[in-house]
A and B are shown apart, each in its own frame.
Chain A
Amino acid sequence: TQLLEQSPQFLSIQEGENLTVYCNSSSVFSSLQWYRQEPGEGPVLLVTVVTGGEVKKLKRLTFQFGDARKDSSLHITAAQPGDTGLYLCAGINSGGSNYKLTFGKGTLLTVNP
């Protein structure tokens, strides 16, 4: 069973602060996705990273895939209350013909105005 550990589990910060959340595994994934989930809704994809060492930016969010494709990080610059939500990482193992996701337990981010 492939496991993804996310840290921290909870994070409460003030508007304007920077933060980083981490997603770590002992397993190699063919690619990794980050989702954000808001209360009462399903997760929504933010980004997919596929190459070891890859960095992707989405406005104030920066995503990095580790060189060995076992870990990833999400950095938010100048956080805003609209960034509040549950951030989930999910690893993709493309073995066989199915593309199943293995989810981490998530980081619950609260950005206070």
Chain B
Amino acid sequence: NAGVTQTPKFQVLKTGQSMTLQCAQDMNHNSMYWYRQDPGMGLRLIYYSASEGTTDKGEVPNGYNVSRLNKREFSLRLESAAPSQTSVYFCASSNRGRQPQHFGDGTRLSIL
């Protein structure tokens, strides 16, 4: 029962470096999401993909790009990492309607 798998689980970067966070789901869900979670701020939506081939900005998209590679995979890229992007990043997936969003276990990213 893999569900939503995120890689890597931990990463430390230097300011200005780039990296891609990977996310894959095996539940045949149409929609996928990237959130960041910061202390006292809750979960904030960065980007989402309602279906394969589409992506849209969420609440805090600046400094990030996304790619919906296929129905299973949705990646998040930081082109030039900044300390303000230190956070825990969660990927989630769901089908339309009131079904739950299924979350991965997160990527803990520190930018020095």
Q: Are A45 and B100 in contact (CB under 8 A)?
A: yes
B105 at the interface (CB under 8 A from A): yes
A64 cross-chain contacts in B, Cβ below 8 A: none
**Residue among A1, A30, A43, A48 with max Cβ neighbours from chain B (10 Å):** A43
Q: Are B100 and A33 in contact (CB under 8 A)?
A: yes
Stretch at the interface among B13-21, B65-73, B88-96: B88-96
Contact with A along B7-29 (1 / 0, CB 8 A): 00000000000000000000000
Q: Are A88 and B50 in contact (CB under 8 A)?
A: no
Residues of chain B in range 30-75 having any CB-CB distance to chain A below 8 Å: 31, 33, 35, 40-45, 48, 50, 56, 58-59
Interface size on B, residues (CB 8 A): 27
Given A42-B92, A45-B100, verify A97-B50 contact (CB < 8 Å).
yes
* Interchain CA distance A3-B59 in the complex, whole Å: 12
Q: How far is the CB of B105 from chain A (nearest CB, A)?
A: 5
Interface of A is mostly: loop
Q: How far is the CB of B109 from chain A (nearest CB, A)?
A: 14
Q: Are B96 and A99 in contact (CB under 8 A)?
A: yes
Residues of chain A in range 1-25 having any CB-CB distance to chain B below 8 Å: 1
Q: Are B103 and A40 in contact (CB under 8 A)?
A: no
Q: Are B40 and A105 in contact (CB under 8 A)?
A: yes
Q: Are B98 and A48 in contact (CB under 8 A)?
A: yes
Q: Are A43 and B48 in contact (CB under 8 A)?
A: no
> Residues on B close to A: CB < 8 A?
4, 31, 33, 35, 40-45, 48, 50, 56, 58-59, 90, 92, 94, 96-98, 100-101, 103-106
> Residues on A close to B: CB < 8 A?
1, 30-31, 33, 40-45, 48, 50, 88, 90, 92, 97-101, 103-106
